Structure 1
Amino acid sequence: MLYPELFKSLEQVRWNMENDIPWDEFDGSKLTDEQAQTIRMNAITEWSALPATEMFLRDNRGDSDFCAFMSVWFFEEQKHSLVLMEYLRRFRPELVPTEEELHNVRFEFDPAPALETLMMHFCGEIRLNHWYRCAADWHTEPVIKQIYKIISQDEARHGGAYLRYMKKALNEVGDSARAAFAKIGVLMASARRTEKPLHPTNLHVNQALFPNDTVQSRLPDPEWLERWLDFQIRFDSEWEKKVVDRILHNMSLLFERTFGTVQELNRYRKEIVNRMGAQPEPA
């Protein structure tokens, strides 16, 4: 069971909202209205950890170890939303999200294969870590710069915890886990080929609600994410390469095989799929 060890390790580095955020260093002259609006949108987006947790608990009912870890992940992700809202409450109270706006991103996700979902969220943590690091560079106000740095470190630790559960799955179910992880890894490392940013909050998750079945589509400004990435924090090809390299590096560690490109990972995926197809049916 991984939960006790992960709980202990994350507890040791947990930050305190009152003592670890330098609230008294706020400089209002360095916060623009444009920047404050993006903080609002990220606060609402982070609230979507609530329906994601409900999905994880439902789709992993047979894995009490992972579901127990969700108590830590959910707490820390909701804390991200809370610290961003606290920043607005102190310095831009008119922009604090309403309860209705928060509740609007809580909707049911369709059931999906648990291993593929795990890999998707692992890649999502890597991507969010880089988005927030880039956002910290873009912001000019010192307190929000520090907040983004702190929560980016949380996202990196969450990715590490997911990787531990992925390794556990490899030991328990073998090639079916390899195939699932490689499939999603190829998808999530190919974001530069898609029109939309590849992150769990921007993927369609409820067919009955389509097209309003992504977290981003249910925000007050559904187009904000692309604008934030492309024209505000300017998450360019250099940053995107960092995300892809980090995904490939972790896949290399996970599968004990070096992947320098997405194409190499895709060839490995095909190899695993072919190997599974060649296996005889059980008697």
Structure 2
Amino acid sequence: MLYPELFKQLESVRWDMDKDIPWASFDASKLTDEQAQTIKMNAITEWSALPATEMFLRDNKDDSDFSAFMSIWFFEEQKHSLVLMEYLRRFRPELAPTEKELHEVRFEFEPAPALETLMLHFCGEIRLNHWYRRASEWHTEPVIKQIYTQLSQDEARHGGAYLRYMKRAINNFGNDARAAFTKVGVLMASARRTAQALHPTNLHVNKDLFPRDTIQSRLPNPEWLEHWLDKQINFDAVWEGKVVERILHNMSLLMNQSFKTVQELNRYRKELGKEITASMAVKPASTSP
């Protein structure tokens, strides 16, 4: 089991919201209304770890190890929402999310293949790590800069934990796991070709609720994410390239290959598909007793 080791590892670096956040260093002159509004949207978005955890537990009911790890992931992600709300409560109380606004992002995600979802969230952690690093640079108020740095480091650690479960899946399921991971990897590393940000909170997850079946669509300002990325933290092609580079690097490690481009990863994905099809074709047909 990975859970006991991951618990010890993440427990050893866990930060304390009272002791490790420099609340006394707050400088009101360095926080704009525009910046404060983005903190509210991030707080609500982080609250969506609640429905994501419900999805993970449902779709991994046969995997107690991974389900136990969700206790760590859920705690730390909800803590992200809480520390952002605490910041607003202290310094911009009129912008603190209401319980109704938080509950709006809790809705059911449709069942999905567990391995593809694992890869999707692994890529999501990489992307969020980079978004928050950029947010820390954009903000000018020292306390919130430190908070975003803290959150970005947590997201990197979560990505590392997901990677451990992905390695385990390859050991257990071989090419089926490789196919699932490369399929989603190609999608998530191709954000430059899409009109919207590729992150779990911006993907459609319940066709019965369409078009309000993404986390972002249920925020007080559904257009916020693209504006935050493009006009505020300026998550440009250079930063997007950093995300793609990390996805390709980790895919290279997982597959014992070398992927320098998304195209190379996609070719490998297609080759895997041919191998899986060929292996299924040569399996002996089952015989009746």
The TM-score range, normalised by the shorter chain, is: over 0.9
Q: Which residue of 1 aligns with 2:206?
A: 206
Distance 1:161 1:272 in 2: 25
Query: What is the aligned counterpart of 1:281 among 268, 280, 283?
Result: 283
| Structure 1 residue 66 displacement after superposition | 0.2
TM-score, normalised on structure 1?
Answer: 0.99
Q: Deviations over 1:172-198 (max 9, x none)?
A: 010000000000000000001000100
Distance 1:9 1:257 in 2: 28
Distance 1:222 1:168 in 2: 37
Q: Which residue of 2 aligns with 1:266?
A: 266
Distance 1:104 1:47 in 2: 10
2:160 partner letter: G
Q: Which residue of 2 aligns with 1:241?
A: 241
Q: Which residue of 2 aligns with 1:24?
A: 24
Q: Deviations over 1:116-166 (max 9, x none)?
A: 000000000000000000000000000000000001000000000000000
Gaps of 5+ in 1: none
Q: Which residue of 1 aligns with 2:174?
A: 174
Query: Is the partner of 1:106 in helix, strand or coil?
Result: coil
Distance 2:230 2:223 in 1: 11
Q: Which residue of 2 aligns with 1:226?
A: 226
1:281 partner letter: K
**Is 1:119–2:112 an aligned residue pair?**
no
| Structure 1 residue 11 displacement after superposition | 0.1
Distance 2:214 2:140 in 1: 30
Q: Which residue of 2 aligns with 1:90?
A: 90
Q: Which residue of 2 aligns with 1:56?
A: 56
1:113 partner letter: P
Task: Name the % identity.
Answer: 78
Distance 1:169 1:15 in 2: 30
Number of equivalent positions:
283
Q: Which residue of 2 aligns with 1:81?
A: 81
2:278 partner letter: A
**Is 1:149–2:149 an aligned residue pair?**
yes
Larger radius of gyration: 2
Q: Deviations over 1:78-98 (max 9, x none)?
A: 000000000000000000000
Distance 1:273 1:116 in 2: 15
Query: Is the partner of 2:112 in helix, strand or coil?
Result: coil
Query: Is the partner of 1:117 in helix, strand or coil?
Result: helix
| Structure 1 residue 281 displacement after superposition | 2.9
**Is 1:256–2:256 an aligned residue pair?**
yes
Query: Is the partner of 2:16 in helix, strand or coil?
Result: coil
Gaps of 5+ in 2: none
Distance 1:93 1:192 in 2: 37
Query: Is the partner of 1:29 in helix, strand or coil?
Result: helix
2:276 partner letter: M
Query: Is the partner of 1:248 in helix, strand or coil?
Result: helix
Query: Is the partner of 2:239 in helix, strand or coil?
Result: helix
CA RMSD of aligned residues (A): 0.5
Distance 1:268 1:67 in 2: 30
Q: Which residue of 2 aligns with 1:189?
A: 189
Q: Which residue of 1 aligns with 2:68?
A: 68
Query: Is the partner of 1:235 in helix, strand or coil?
Result: coil
Distance 1:273 1:80 in 2: 39
Q: Deviations over 1:16-52 (max 9, x none)?
A: 0000000000000000000000000000000000000
Distance 1:269 1:6 in 2: 30
1:218 partner letter: R
Distance 2:192 2:29 in 1: 36
Distance 2:111 2:18 in 1: 38
